[in-house]
Structure 1
Amino acid sequence: MGYFLKFNRQKKQKKKPMSKLYKSIFNVNGCSVVKQEQTDTTVTITVRLTKGNASRCGCCGRKGKLYDNGREQRVWRTLDLGTKMGFIRMDTYRVKCKKCGVKTVKVPWASHRSGFTDAFEQQVAWAVCSMSKKAVAKQLRIAWNTVGEIADRVWDRLDTRPIKAGCIFRRIGIDETSYKKGHKYITVVVDHDRRCVIWVHEGYGKEVLDLFMRELSEEQRKGVELVTCDGAKWIRSSIEEFLPNAERCVDSFHVVQWATEALDKVRVEAWKEARKENRNQKRGRGRPTKDSVPKDRTAEGIKNSRYALGKAPENLNESQQRKIELIASRYPRLYRAYQLKEELRIILKMGYDDARENLDRWLWRASHSRIGSVKDLYAKIKRNYDGILNTIRLGVSNARIEATNNKIKLLIRTAYGFRNMNNMLSLIMLSCSYVDVKIAYEWESESRESSSKAA
């Protein structure tokens, strides 16, 4: 008897409508499912907007008046259902908005003028931050160029820049990095406290950096306390013009790099002198006798000493130490430049007071060294004297922005280059900025929670 009552109770219950089931599977709201179609490779549902979501402007979302009855059928690609591609079809129409004019009606599941749902675009944006565009295009069965366009739209949708929000940046880093052969550069600005990119733009120079400075409010400009950078003149002039309270910090890595480049110029000069002396040595015909003087290998040793001269003395192996000893005995001019480079490297590791005292002595010795490349190095360090000491005093570096530059190069290499600059900048901001790009199911769960809280 109990089984019979239970059977009748289950029989009287209404079955769940197929419309709700397909809406749940396709994750669409604000509409009703009219019909569904299936093929061997696709699943398509035809929907109709509900009364509350009908006649909304596609740009601003406000309620408008029906402009025309000429309906155009549109199809949106959504997330795959197993091995089948999912599509949403609807007859659209145009709405007259007081603010935007005549626009296509807004749909809750996709952005204006997009042929993909927001969930699908979120999945593409998450994947392109980790894989190449070719792999993403093959996995999600879309065109290679479409991947970059989707990344651009997702960034526009997620863009809530701290610059626009009025956030104060205390410590920032500025640098330029190449993205293509032929001196193609982009300018990158990093927030050291938030550990992310806050601004990126094509090109470099004072005109490009001034665009970032002008985006900042007066309060944000006054809030910047220090800027880490290299010794570029255009960065220094822009800081002096727009950031009155900022201290410029020249990274120690670049200072040692300047000294290494100056040392390499002296090495090339010494190698040319040694090669000229070898050419002047005359040898007789035939094989050399046992008593003959062996061929002088000094020029070859100097030519191959670039790596040894760039290393610290404590890291040299036996072969490299012999090269340094040869240079010290035969070419004291090159050895003196090597000593000045090592002294400068040690000074940059000292405390502020000791570093300032020893740096003044180093500058005097460099100015009286009678070596052209070292004198040029002296002038460069003299111009950036305050910035170098600020770096030592505050204990900061430009390592974070250099690491960001490497990540940007990796993104460009993984994508096998970019044809569209906006797509490249959008991908950089999605991967390296403050935006947390979530995978589709995480994004959908957050959107459900936010909509339930709002209700």
Structure 2
Amino acid sequence: MQDNNLGLPFWEGFLASDLERKNGATWITLVPDPRAPLVCSGCDSNCWQIHETGWRVVRDMPMLGDPVWLRVRLRRVRCSECGTRAERVKWLDRHARVTQRLAEFVGLWCQKLPVAHVCKLSGLHWDTVRRIERTNLAAQIAALPDAQPTRLVMDEFALYKGHRYATVVLDADTRRVLWVGEGRSREALRPFFEWLGPERCRAIEAVAMDMNTAFDLEVKEHCPQAHVVYDLFHVVAKYGREVIDRVRVDEANRLKHDLPMRKVVKRARWLLLRNRANIPAEKLASLDELLAANQTLSTVYIMKAALKELWSAQGAWQWRTAWQTWLRMANESGVEPLQKFARKLKPYWRGIVARVRWPMHTGQLEGINNRIKVMKRMAYGYRDSEFFFLKIKAAFPGNP
């Protein structure tokens, strides 16, 4: 179908000279508008000489449900400043095979939908959509201001099945995800400090984390002046696994001749691990009866509450008194798993008392990790970790 050189605003500088529909697609031929200035893509100056012309086929937004292909006549100009360069086309990036508005459309929907769904919506191939999204994500991250963190939060999340993890580092003040890397070892975390650089490492004052020795050692090597702050949630969770759960199993085994009581103890796992404030009212009586009937379980349950109080101390001396009392009670309890846990916890006392001066925790990252899991489920997983990590950093750019 021939047209009388129709100019449209979304193809600025070009005229539609031909339109035809074949094989379920719309093909439009675009030629340069002789009234539009010829601009060098290198220096944006007007040019007057054309070196050569050629054709490029690009995709544009679908029209009435059909894909749209553009045959565009492009020119190379002779610029007095840059030499031979391609002309500047406002709606088409250099070497691009899709228009800017289609790329923006894909980038917008990739923030809300999985790549496979965006492919169906735009009619583009999976690799093309992912390449566009990767470019957009990199541009978003590059546009962010330089990070100048003074307090950090570190945590991990499951990347794949089979105990494969990734580490996330958050700026505690701006809530910006600064870095994501595969693994949770010292070697996995080291690239973050190399990216941060010696000057910014010296500005770090405190780092909140769980009781991960690898994190601890790497922070001390690169930021020796920083205070390590151990998170209450992870310490109490570790206490639940290594003390309460162990004692519950041992007590159930000891009660093998008292089957009714053994059954009660075996089924009380979540009742013992949950905070008392979160236990339904109808279950509290069962908990109190269990603790009254079993002295050992009662001891470790009370010691858990006392352990949590260490994070509520208002001053260093109050904390020191509470800490020494807890250690003495643990050592005198006669409960072997509790005594073993106290011995393991003792070398970490500096990271616990640091909470008095630096009231930090990894709760900020726990919420972010939950959103990361949602992102992973929506996409049915990601084919490469680097792309996934770009999405995470772009999704959490921090507060302005």
TM range (shorter): 0.7 to 0.9
Q: 1:300 aligns with which of 246, 253, 263?
A: 263
Q: Given the alignment of the two structures, is residue 239 of structure 1 paired with residue 224 of structure 2, yes or no?
A: no
CA displacement at 1:44 relative to structure 2: 2.5
**SS of the counterpart of 1:216?**
helix
Q: Which residue of 2 is the match for residue 42 of structure 1?
A: 26
Q: Which residue of 2 is the match for residue 404 of structure 1?
A: 368
Q: Given the alignment of the two structures, is residue 216 of structure 1 paired with residue 180 of structure 2, yes or no?
A: no
Measured at CA, do residues 303 and 147 of structure 1 come closer, stay the same or move farther in structure 2, by a change above 3 Å? farther
1:202-213 alignment, distance < 5 Å? 202-213=182-193
What are the superposed Cα offsets for residues 73-129 of structure 1, whole Å, 9 maximum, x if unpaired? 432223344544444332568899xxxxx9988754344554222332222222122
Q: Given the alignment of the two structures, is residue 118 of structure 1 paired with residue 100 of structure 2, yes or no?
A: yes
Measured at CA, do residues 135 and 367 of structure 1 come closer, stay the same or move farther in structure 2, by a change above 3 Å? same
| Equivalent pair of 2:271/2:287 in contact (CA under 8 Å) | yes
Unaligned runs of 5+ in 2: 79-83
CA displacement at 1:239 relative to structure 2: 0.8
Q: Which residue of 1 is the match for residue 307 of structure 2?
A: 344
Q: Aligned partner of 1:348: which letter?
A: W
Q: Given the alignment of the two structures, is residue 159 of structure 1 paired with residue 136 of structure 2, yes or no?
A: no
Q: Which residue of 2 is the match for residue 143 of structure 1?
A: 125
| Equivalent pair of 2:141/2:394 in contact (CA under 8 Å) | no
**SS of the counterpart of 1:348?**
helix
**SS of the counterpart of 1:44?**
strand
CA displacement at 1:368 relative to structure 2: 3.4
Which whole-Å CA distance do the structure 1 matches of 2:129 and 2:399 have between them? 18
CA displacement at 1:434 relative to structure 2: 4.8
Measured at CA, do residues 347 and 156 of structure 1 come closer, stay the same or move farther in structure 2, by a change above 3 Å? closer
Give the number of the structure with larger relative contact order, counting CA–CA contacts within 8 Å between residues 6 or more apart: 1
Q: Which residue of 2 is the match for residue 228 of structure 1?
A: 208
Measured at CA, do residues 350 and 435 of structure 1 come closer, stay the same or move farther in structure 2, by a change above 3 Å? closer
Q: 1:194 aligns with which of 169, 174, 183?
A: 174
Q: Which residue of 1 is the match for residue 358 of structure 2?
A: 394
Which whole-Å CA distance do the structure 2 matches of 1:423 and 1:61 have between them? 33
Q: Which residue of 2 is the match for residue 416 of structure 1?
A: 380
Greater Rg, structure 1 or structure 2?
A: 1
Q: Which residue of 2 is the match for residue 6 of structure 1?
A: none
What are the superposed Cα offsets for residues 152-180 of structure 1, whole Å, 9 maximum, x if unpaired? 11122333266xx6441122211111122
Q: Aligned partner of 2:116: which letter?
A: K
Q: Which residue of 1 is the match for residue 81 of structure 2?
A: none
Q: Aligned partner of 2:310: which letter?
A: I
| Equivalent pair of 2:206/2:358 in contact (CA under 8 Å) | no
Which whole-Å CA distance do the structure 2 matches of 1:62 and 1:298 have between them? 88
Q: Aligned partner of 1:332: which letter?
A: Q
Compare the two structures and name the one with the higher strand fraction: 2
Which whole-Å CA distance do the structure 2 matches of 1:308 and 1:344 have between them? 18
Q: Which residue of 2 is the match for residue 182 of structure 1?
A: 162
CA displacement at 1:373 relative to structure 2: 2.3
| Equivalent pair of 1:327/1:335 in contact (CA under 8 Å) | yes
| Equivalent pair of 1:178/1:184 in contact (CA under 8 Å) | yes
1:10-409 alignment, distance < 5 Å? 20=7, 22=8, 24=9, 26=10, 28-29=11-12, 31-33=13-15, 35-39=17-21, 41-42=25-26, 44-48=28-32, 52-53=38-39, 56=41, 71=54, 73-91=55-73, 107-160=89-142, 166-262=146-242, 263-275=244-256, 277-278=257-258, 296-316=259-279, 317-329=281-293, 331-353=294-316, 354-409=318-373
The count of corresponding residues between Structure 1 and Structure 2 is 387
Measured at CA, do residues 19 and 204 of structure 1 come closer, stay the same or move farther in structure 2, by a change above 3 Å? farther
Measured at CA, do residues 315 and 174 of structure 1 come closer, stay the same or move farther in structure 2, by a change above 3 Å? closer
Which whole-Å CA distance do the structure 2 matches of 1:52 and 1:69 have between them? 13
Measured at CA, do residues 47 and 335 of structure 1 come closer, stay the same or move farther in structure 2, by a change above 3 Å? farther
TM-score under structure 1 length normalisation: 0.74
Unaligned runs of 5+ in 1: 1-16, 97-101, 279-295, 437-455
TM-score under structure 2 length normalisation: 0.83
